[in-house]
């Protein structure tokens, strides 16, 4: 299975490498296709005062160091089209944030790269409409039909991270995993699925105790991979701490998913 994991944002070199070192075992697991995730910039933070990261140039430099040290494949977010030319030389997967999943110019520019493109479904999106976001990438790459096999061959993933349910809450409709899997391999973003947007007066909250149960449910439905943000101390994380897993919790979650996969 695909496993995407790492800190939400690059906080500093020390923390980045501490987390990366703890994830080496997943990269060495023959049953896992592992991608280390960290963002050089979180451009959609709730507040102007929130920590965003080191920025494009310094952030990509640190990710290159991680690749050299640990031989990881890498995933990072891009928010604007101009960032892609530099990012594609460093990472294997360009991730399109959920709020930007319909942003045509960003999707087309990402599709022009040699990277896998991972589009996160918007919290406001009907899962069926993600076919059209998928087609923006596929058609740019010369493929005119959105299907699981076409997307797999063309390097396209879709990621579920929940849908807005009133204010400050998300719910996951497990049907969406099946619906989107008609168009592309599907990743379940278990940690963002429990996020509570804007719930902490200028920043998002979350309920990390529900991450593992939702991941197990997604495994039972059937997905191609999982996305877990992790940190050695989520309470001190500079972004998304309330919905992140500790490294030990990540171990238990992955073990339970592998057990379910083996049964299915």
CB-count burial class (<10 Å; 0-12, 13-18, 19+) for 233: exposed
According to the model, what pLDDT value does residue 49 have?
A: 81
The mean per-residue pLDDT over the stretch 132-141 comes to: 98
Listed in sequence order, the residues at least 6 apart from 203 whose beta carbon sits closer than 8 Å to its beta carbon are 45, 46, 47, 50
Listed in sequence order, the residues at least 6 apart from 213 whose beta carbon sits closer than 8 Å to its beta carbon are none
User: Which tokens go with 58?
Assistant: 């310094």
d(CA 175, CA 51): 35
- Judge whether residue 147 has pLDDT over 60: yes
Domains assigned to the chain: 2-263 (3.20.20.70)
d(CA 29, CA 46): 37
According to the model, what pLDDT value does residue 202 have?
A: 65
According to the model, what pLDDT value does residue 190 have?
A: 96
Give the pLDDT confidence of 73-114 residue by residue, as tens digits: 999 999 999 999 999 999 999 999 999 999 999 999 999 999
Mean pLDDT check: name the lowest of 12-16, 125-129, 185-189, 236-240.
236-240
According to the model, what pLDDT value does residue 200 have?
A: 59
Average pLDDT of the chain to the nearest whole number: 95
Q: What angle do CA 201, 44, 13 make, to 5 degrees?
A: 100
List the one residue out of 135, 133, 88 whose CA is nearest residue 112: 88
Give the pLDDT confidence of 169-204 residue by residue, as tens digits: 899 999 999 999 999 999 999 999 998 876 556 667
List the one residue out of 60, 59, 90 whose CA is nearest residue 73: 90
47: confidence class by pLDDT, cuts 50, 70, 90: confident
Mean pLDDT check: name the lowest of 38-42, 55-59, 127-131, 163-167.
163-167
Return the number of other C-beta atoms located less than 10 Å from residue 39's C-beta.
Answer: 26
Q: What is the CA radius of gyration of the chain?
A: 17
pLDDT top residue among 167 and 22 = 22
- Judge whether residue 117 has pLDDT over 80: yes
List the one residue out of 172, 183, 175, 248 whose CA is nearest residue 207: 172
According to the model, what pLDDT value does residue 197 have?
A: 79
The mean per-residue pLDDT over the stretch 221-229 comes to: 98
Question: Is residue 36 classed as helix, strand or coil in its secondary structure?
Answer: strand
66: confidence class by pLDDT, cuts 50, 70, 90: very high
Beta bridge partners of 94: 76, 117
User: Which tokens go with 254?
Assistant: 């992955």
According to the model, what pLDDT value does residue 28 have?
A: 97
According to the model, what pLDDT value does residue 241 have?
A: 86
d(CA 19, CA 17): 5
Which residue's entry shows tokens 């593992």? 212
């Amino acid at each position: 299975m695909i496993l995407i994991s790492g800190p939400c944002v690059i906080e500093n070199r020390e923390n980045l490498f501490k987390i990366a070192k703890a994830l080496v075992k997943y990269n060495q697991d023959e049953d896992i296709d592992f991608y280390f995730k960290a963002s050089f910039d979180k451009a959609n933070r709730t507040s102007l005062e929130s920590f965003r990261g080191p920025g494009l140039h310094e952030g990509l430099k640190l990710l290159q160091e991680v690749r050299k040290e640990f031989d990881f494949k890498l995933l990072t977010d891009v928010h604007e089209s101009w960032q892609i030319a530099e990012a594609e030389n460093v990472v294997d997967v360009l991730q399109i944030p959920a709020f930007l999943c319909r942003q045509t110019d960003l999707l087309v520019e990402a599709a022009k790269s040699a990277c896998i493109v991972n589009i996160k479904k918007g919290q406001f999106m009907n899962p069926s409409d993600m076919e059209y976001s998928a087609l923006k990438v596929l058609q740019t790459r010369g493929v005119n039909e959105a299907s699981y096999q076409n997307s797999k061959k063309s390097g396209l993933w879709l990621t579920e991270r929940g849908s807005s349910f009133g204010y400050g809450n998300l719910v996951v409709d497990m049907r969406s995993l099946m619906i989107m899997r008609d168009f592309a391999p599907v990743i379940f973003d278990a940690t963002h699925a429990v996020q509570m947007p804007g719930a902490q007066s200028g920043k998002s909250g979350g309920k990390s105790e529900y991450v593992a149960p939702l991941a197990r449910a997604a495994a039972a439905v059937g997905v191609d991979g999982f996305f877990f943000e992790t940190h050695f101390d989520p309470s001190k994380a500079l972004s998304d701490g309330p919905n992140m897993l500790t490294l030990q919790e990540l171990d238990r979650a992955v073990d339970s998913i592998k057990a379910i996969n083996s049964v299915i």
